Amino acid sequence: MSIISIRNVTKTFVGITAVDNANIEIAANEFFAVLGPSGCGKTTLLRMLAGFETPTTGEILIDGVDVSTTAPNKRPVNMVFQSYAVFPHMSVLANVGYGLKVTGVPATETRQRAEEALEMVQLAHLAERKPDQLSGGQRQRVALARALVKRPKVLLLDEPMSALDAKLREQMQLELTRLQEEVGITFVIVTHDQDEALSMADRIAVMQSGRVEQIATPEALYESPDSRFVADFIGKVNLLDGQVTGAADQGVTVDVTHLGKVTVPHSGHAQGQVSLAVRPEKIRMTVARPDSGLLVQGRIVDWAYYGDTSHIRVQPASGPPMSVTVQNDTRSTIENGDVGDQVWLSWRAEDTLVLDR
């Protein structure tokens, strides 16, 4: 059974539709991410779950109860704010105990549970500190402990990593995943960072301009995106425009400039103008002409070296340049080509996606 049901929810502010007919079911104990560019409505969606906004139409059920118009302090959810919103006039311990104290939990129990929560986020030694004596990462842990101590049915996280540096972010991502498994409650995280969503979430909802574009597991989103937007938003993708010329056995034949007529597997229905999509790391780059696969010849225009990988741009005879990611799996990989060289790009038909244009 779903712990959260978002049914036909639309939220309009004066003249602006922030969330447009969203339908999302989130299962209990799921780590769910809402991913999208800024202004796509993901934060509004989260604020409706927390109770700071009321849906214009539609309903939100938490654990089977319609909470669409329930006040924030009456909902079984807690939130970690983007700014963390740690109370500056209270000690770390008082911050964590706040939610228990104001709801009438006895003082001794409040203290005990707050200390346990601090233990869980490894901040027990800083209990007496004031927030202004903490680093950003520590403040975030306080915000986490403060929300988790309430034992909510759902924990909401609003862009929790945006204020942390890259190293700390990676560490907190692992820690959040560990915490979620440890406490066994549903996490709903809102983020614009695809790496964050892909690495942490069980399932991801991708949003754009208020609409939910696709809800799927990270693998499914990356390997089988429903739309051009999702393919382009999650990771990098090469898009080759073409024209469907006919249906083949479990696939379609598409006529693409400088690829010719190719047949690629496709389960759905496709006709007219389409785009063939292929991820940069699925492409092989060779000097000699390969025997099989989809082939494009071009000239290397750009070679960006990232240590473990190299990102290379290759300009075919016409059309936009194509991106290729090469694993630097030997120390001599870099000697395999240089800017200006003529190379062949090849990939397998089954690694190609057909997307509507």
Partner 1 sequence: MESYRKNQRVFWVLAGPGSFWLLFFFLVPLGMVWILSFGEKAVIDGKISITETEITWTLANYVRALADPVYLVIMWKSIWISALATMLCLIIAYPVAFVISFASPRWRPWLLLAVILPFWINLLIRTYALIAVFRIRGYVNFTLEWIYDTLWLDGLFGPFEPLELLYNDFAVVAGLVYVFMPFMVLPLYASIERLDRSMLEASLDLGASQVATFLRVTVPLTMPGIVSGLILVFIPCLGSFLTADLLGGTNATMIGNVIERQFKAANDWPFGAALSFLLMYVTFGALALRALLSRDAEARI
Q: Which residues bind partner 1 (CB under 8 A)?
A: 50-52, 71-73, 77-79, 81-83, 85, 87-91, 94, 98-99, 102-103, 130, 146-147, 150
- Which residue bears the tokens 């101590």? 149
Phi, psi of 196 (to 5 degrees): -60, -50
Work out how close the CB of 87 gets to partner 1 at its nearest, in angstroms, rounded to a whole number: 6
Strands 77-80 and 154-158: parallel
The least CB distance from residue 142 to partner 1, in Å, is 11
Task: Choose between 87 and 305: whose C-beta lies nearer to partner 1.
Answer: 87
Nearer to partner 1, 93 or 237 (CB): 93
Least Å distance, CB 37 to partner 1, is 22
Nearer to partner 1, 73 or 330 (CB): 73
Q: Are 215 and 221 in contact (CB under 8 A)?
A: no
Nearer to partner 1 among residue 18 and residue 355 (C-beta): 18
Nearer to partner 1, 152 or 235 (CB): 152
Q: How many CB atoms lie within 10 A of CB 87?
A: 13
Residue number, 109 or 255, with CB nearest to partner 1: 109
Cα distances (Å, whole numbers) of residue 327 to 52, 282, 315, 341: 46, 11, 20, 18
**Minimum distance of partner 1 from residue 29's CB (angstroms):** 21
DSSP 290: P
The answer to whether 61 and 43 have CB atoms below 8 angstroms apart is: no
CA atoms of 5 and 155, how far apart (whole Å): 15
CB of 152 to partner 1, least distance (A): 9
- The letter for the amino acid at 42 is K
Least distance from partner 1 to the Cβ atom of residue 79, Å? 5
Those residues whose C-beta lies under 8 Å from the C-beta of residue 328, and which sit 6 or more positions away, are 305, 307, 308, 309, 310, 334
The DSSP element (H or E) to which 65 belongs, if any, is strand 65-66
